[in-house]
Amino acid sequence: MRSLKSLRAPATTCGLALAACLGWGPTAAHAQSDHLTLYGIVDGWAGVQKTKAGAATGTVGMVESGGAQASRWGIKGTEDLGGGLKLNFVLEQGIAIDTGGISTVSASNGGFNRNSFVRLSGPFGELKLGRLLTAYDALRGPINHLYDSSGFASTGQTWSASTTAGNGLPAVSGSDYLARTNNTIQYGTPEYRDFSAAVSVGMGEGGVTATAAPRTVTGNVIYDDDTTRVGYSFQREFYTTGENRYHLVSGKHRFKAFTVVASLQRQTDHRVTGGQTANEYQVGVDVPFGQATVALGYASSLNRDAQDRKVIDASGISAMVTYDLSKRTRLYTAVRQLEVKRGDGSVSSDVLRWGVGVTHRF
């Protein structure tokens, strides 16, 4: 991260000029960040992906963005208001370094799509307004295996897997939660004896459809003593065609020689006629060896229809080895295999990818 303290004088000058133009008083003109930071992650990888779907098999070379961590850049600032109160803001955009474009994040591919919020914190806890990660994600993303790797963790692909039609069976669609929501208000309690809680509400604001921009209600309760992090969270997404509901129990523990993560998720999708349920889990372990770390992960999802018939059986396994060249630059190599089966056990798709990449933080 790079501090932009040198920008204070010009920013203040511009602020005074803008205030004068708009007729604002001195109070508005004096408001400025105590600290402004430009930060980001640039992550790229090259590799091969082999896909088998039915009788068809294809292999393609890849140069992609965000193998280990999603590439992004952002600006954040803070102001100490006194009396224990502090104001923060974050503006963060996903970037695709392979094309130079803006990456799609939680159904958005424009603007500050990763984060765009203002936060007021103090003895009462914290209040956030804007586009931000839901309270549910506090126990989903940070406790995913392979450090929640964008390109190689198995969880997201496995838990959202769909099947193609085949063997006389129809295609079946799966889905996964929205990590970020628009028009959101989120409240987080102060920590008390290592316990905390949060709730967030996404308003929808009239843009709700059958598949996008739902109204949301999410919450969590978390215990975190810096060695163990465990908790429960829920998320309810309200679409025009029905509700998509999630429950999650998730935990992480650091032992002396390694770290383990595990999650259990239950999804009920009422957008599907009669409802469709998914029982899902993921486990992982990270083992450091000096500047290197070996990470392993596994994820599973079993979907059933309204008649309790198995319709999707998906599983994924992942492995990643990282090596830190410095505090900000990391090399990695990783592999992931994802297999999706239909209700009768026939394979709908089998995808294997492997690659090497580099992550740099600034």
Residue 302 lies in a domain: yes
**Is pLDDT above 60 for 264?**
yes
Query: pLDDT confidence of 1, banded at 50, 70, 90?
Result: low
Q: Which of 23-37, 121-135, 145-159, 340-354 has the lowest mean pLDDT?
A: 23-37
Strand partners, 52: 57, 350
Residue 33 lies in a domain: no
Count structural domains, the chain: 1
Can you give the pLDDT at residue 31?
46
Q: What number is the average pLDDT over the span 117-131?
A: 99
Structural domain for 108, as ranges: 45-361
Q: Are strands 35-53 and 228-239 parallel, antiparallel or unpaired?
A: unpaired
Residue that is written with structure tokens 């307004």 in the block: 129
Query: pLDDT confidence of 11, banded at 50, 70, 90?
Result: very low
Which residue in 159, 164, 165 sits closest to 303, CA to CA? 159
Can you give the pLDDT at residue 21?
39
**CB proximity list for 193: less than 8 A, separation 6 or greater:** none
Residue 35 lies in a domain: no
Residue 10 lies in a domain: no
Q: What is the CATH number of the domain that holds 122?
A: 2.40.160.10
Residue 39 lies in a domain: no
pTM, two decimals, is: 0.88
Instruction: Give the E-state strand segments of 28-179 in sequence order.
Output: 35-53, 56-65, 72-82, 85-96, 101-102, 115-122, 125-133
Mean pLDDT, the chain, whole residue set: 91
- The b-or-e profile of 35-52 (16+ CB within 10 A means b, else e) is ebbebbbbbbbebebeeb
Residue 27 lies in a domain: no
Residue 37 lies in a domain: no
Residue 158 structure tokens: 């496995």
**Is pLDDT above 50 for 30?**
no
Residue 300 lies in a domain: yes
pLDDT in tens, 39-96: 999 999 999 999 998 778 999 999 999 999 999 999 999 999 999 999 999 999 999 9
